[in-house]
A and B are shown apart, each in its own frame.
Chain A
């Protein structure tokens, strides 16, 4: 069974940093692209970053480009999101999402980890 378990969320002051992790199991991790998608309270879904199977291709939404960095460690079957220069508008539930087959469509989501940026 595919499982994605996010961790690392919490409350942080504006300008601070957090690193999110997503532990993957139940599938061959390095065969699939991975994504981070967030959802602000009461709002819709926003894709923020993706990484290809090799880890050499990374992609970002404009809203986080230059502040967030996605990475993956195939030896640990773990996806990461390093978040710097956090802003109040980054407050959201952050989901780890597995790509479907060889595409960027998502076929499995974690349960999310909540990030709150507030002074």
Chain B
């Protein structure tokens, strides 16, 4: 199975800061990586697919990059509504696997 390792597990930043979340795959997954945002008590929502494509309706302050084994989700200019847990997921191989999540809070 492909292991997805996210870091950090939590981050606290000020409104307006840039937040970077990393996701590393245990083997190459080309661009088959998605990022999801989950707010407390809500279902997840896709932000980014195929590593860098922004889902329709998602604010442009979210961006994704990477290929192979190393990926990054960047939130530029953090907003209060961005408080959530963020997950990466690979879909290159079955079983599909998620990272452990990164909790983003406002300082």
Q: How many contacts between A and B, using CB within 8 angstroms?
A: 63
| Chain B binding surface SS class | loop
User: Nearest B residue to A110 by beta-carbon distance?
Assistant: B43
Contact B46 A105 (CB under 8 A): yes
B44 close to A (CB within 8 Å):
yes
Indicate whether B89 reaches chain A with its CB closer than 8 angstroms.
Answer: yes
Out of B43, B95, B101, which one reaches A109, CB within 8 Å? B43
Which B residues lie within 8 Å of A45 (CB)? 36, 38, 44, 87, 89, 98, 101
Are B96 and A109 in contact, with the CB atoms below 8 A? no
Tell me whether A59 and B87 are in contact (CB under 8 A).
Answer: no
* B74 within 8 Å of A (CB atoms): no
Chain B residues proximal to chain A, CB less than 8 Å: 1, 32, 34, 36, 38, 43-46, 49-50, 55, 85, 87, 89, 91, 94-101
24 contacts between A and B (CB under 8 A): A44-B87, A44-B100, A45-B38, A45-B87, A45-B98, A50-B96, A59-B94, A59-B96, A61-B95, A62-B95, A100-B46, A100-B49, A103-B49, A104-B96, A105-B89, A105-B91, A106-B89, A107-B46, A107-B49, A107-B55, A109-B43, A109-B44, A109-B45, A112-B43
